[in-house]
Structure 1
C-alpha cells in the first residue's frame, strides 16, 4: 500500500501526518527515521505488516 506522508520540521523533530490512514500522527528525530516511524505507526493502526507500506513523503514548511 502506498502511504503518502507529510513531514513538517518543528525544532528538534519532524512531525508526520498522513491522510491515507485515520489518526496518523507521529514524529521522527531525523529524515532517515521518517519512513521507519511511518511504517511502524501504519502497521499499528491497520494491523498489517510494516512491509505492506511503501512510504512516499513530502516536506512542508511551518507557517
Structure 2
C-alpha cells in the first residue's frame, strides 16, 4: 500500500480506537459490533468489542 493510503488508514484506525462508533460506519446491520472504515484508497472491516474496549481488524483492502 502506498504511503499516503497507509497514512490515511492509520489515522482512521487511530480515530476508531478513541471513538469506534462515530469514527466508523455500520457493516451490514448496525449492531455496533461489525463496523467499517472507508478511506479514499482503502477499506477495513472491524470487530468492536464494547465490554473489553477492543478493536480487531478483520480485513483490509487497498482500493488503488
Shorter chain as normaliser: what TM range? under 0.3
Report which structure shows greater RCO (CA 8 Å, sep ≥6). 1
| Greater helix proportion | 1
TM-score under structure 1 length normalisation: 0.26
TM-score under structure 2 length normalisation: 0.26
